[in-house]
Structure 1
Amino acid sequence: MTEDDIRLAERLAEAAGAAIRPFFRARFDRETKADASPVTEADRASEAAMRAILAVERPQDGIIGEEYGREREDAERVWVLDPIDGTRAFVAGRPLFGTLIALVEANRPVLGVIDQPIIGDRWVGAAGRPTLFNGAVAATRNCARLDAAHIGTTSPAAFPAGDLDRFLRASGAAGDTLWGGDCHNYGLVASGHLDAVVESGLKLYDFAALIPVVEGAGGRMTDWQGRPLDADSPGEVIAAGDARLIEAIAAQLN
């Protein structure tokens, strides 16, 4: 991962946002995927815009995208794209959805961008560097006690069977629980406004970009067993601003 990669990731975010904004709160075609999640013209336009740039700038790299699948996924470097994380929010006209862009090397995300093209928030995390929020250094909040922690998750409907009860056990022990927010929640952890996010049923394109952002701000991300995340991890995720919270949350989940 190089400085050029970071600049490229931000260019991808700009291109994705330019493709998305004309569709926001406008009329557009919508359909439902096999997993019952909505997909829109904006999702496809956004990912197509990013892929077009990568085809020119990084033709040897792999790509894993939510809408257009996998290309050269066994390459040494793979870009992982979620054009609109929070499509339901986008469809409803809520501006907290975002574009997720990650670069994976040796099976580990080393670069991540959370970009919110409507409200203008952008977090950029890169291995070995501090996470930046709109150009300024971001830092997580110290909070080691679960009963004092503010935790978040997107929706009770997003948990696979059985996982919701496990989450409710953890959230019941927390100081407060915020529902909704999609990828924005992870940015809030990185900036110290939210203490943790707990989710499951995620795909690689849902969580790869989040890891460098949260960890570059001083936090930690693991699966529900407390194991570090990589490209082969299951979709169970704990993101905590204070690493000491991981054990307490995992104990409630398990």
Structure 2
Amino acid sequence: MADAAGAAILPYFRSATLGADNKLEDGFDPVTVADREAELAMRAVLAQLRPDDGILGEEFAPVEGSSGRTWVLDPIDGTRGFISGTPTWGVLIAMSEADGPVLGVIDQPYTGERFIGAAGLAQMTGPQGARDLATRNGTALDQAILFTTFPEVGTPEERAGFERVSGKVRLTRYGMDCYAYALLAAGQIDLVIEAGLNAYDVQAPIAVIQAAGGVVTDWQGGPAHEGGRVLAAANAELHAAALALLKNS
């Protein structure tokens, strides 16, 4: 599926003729032909290889399955970055069961990086070859690197919660979409905090980060696979420190 999606997407990346439709009347939530063609390509693979499984994708209607498994697809997570030409977008693929995702893929076709997480498997492949994924340990909150996609994060209340954590860390960066979660799984950064997410935004990152040794919950410490507010941390200690600052948001 990741190969099929990448083949559909790459001809449009950094193309001068690429346009974008806006899915919002008030605001800007772009979708492109690349988003739609990539999701259709992944659905075609599933129709051939996993016809009994369900599908939840961003761009088209859900498909009910009979197997108890659902494939959760975001063909281009980070379409704003995609239309801007930054290589921080990615293809997200998760296979989910009743309690959440058990397999996740974050794929960046342009850079050739693929991050995979499942039980007993946490690995990335890319231009430098293959290596195991492992999140960082031993980083105190005041030395942590924190990412989020949008500076405004969400509601004013959610922004205040984020700023309580941001005020304690060493470095805060913005705008990476799903690539931030991949960097966390790869041991490059320590925290990702976001709000207003959908299931297809977060299920693949959850599976990858958990397989690499990290922790992902909502802002109350509960499951995050349905979306909403998400706290991803490199380890349990760092997660607890950030969660204590977010819980009242």
TM-score by length of 2: 0.92
Q: Which 10-residue stretch deviates more, 29-38 or 90-99? A: 29-38
Structure 1 residues 85 and 234: alpha-carbon distance in aligned structure 2, compared to 1, 3 A threshold: closer
1:64 aligns with 2:59: no
- Which structure 2 residue ranges, 5 or more long, are not aligned? none
> What is the alpha-carbon distance in structure 1 between the residues aligned to residue 52 and residue 81 of structure 2?
34
8 Å CA contact 2:52–2:66 kept in 1: the answer is no
Query: Which residue is 1:6 aligned to?
Result: none
**C-alpha distance after superposition, 1:196-248 (max 9, x if no partner):** 10001000000000111001111111110112333xx4411111111111111
**Count of residues in Structure 1 that have an aligned counterpart in Structure 2:** 240
- The question of 1:252 aligning with 2:245 is answered yes
In 2, the alpha carbon distance for the partners of 1:229 and 1:201 equals 11
Matched, 1:131 2:126: no
Amino acid corresponding to residue 150 of structure 2 in structure 1: S
The runs of 4+ residues in structure 1 deviating greater than 3 Å are none
Alignment-mate amino acid for residue 30 of structure 1: A
Post-superposition shift, 1:73? 5.9
Equivalent residue number for residue 43 of structure 1: 35
- SS at the partner of 1:71? coil
Query: 1:136-195 CA deviation, whole Å, 9 max, x = no partner?
Result: 211111135211111111112452342112111111111111111111111111111001
String of CA shifts for 1:40-99, please: whole Å, max 9, x gaps. Answer: 010001001000111111111000000012110675000000000000000001111000
Name the % identity.
48
- Is 1:213 aligned to residue 202 of structure 2? no
Contact 2:115 2:182 in 1 (8 A): yes
For residue 144 of structure 2, what is the amino acid of its counterpart?
A: A
Q: Distance in 2 between matches of 1:244 and 1:177?
A: 19
Residue 105 (structure 2) aligns with? 113
Mean Cα deviation higher: 171-180 or 198-207? 171-180
2:230 is the alignment partner of 1:241: no
Q: Distance in 1 between matches of 2:138 and 2:9?
A: 36
Pick closer, same or farther for the CA change 1:234–1:187 going to 2, 3 Å: closer
Match of 1:23 among 12, 23, 26: 12
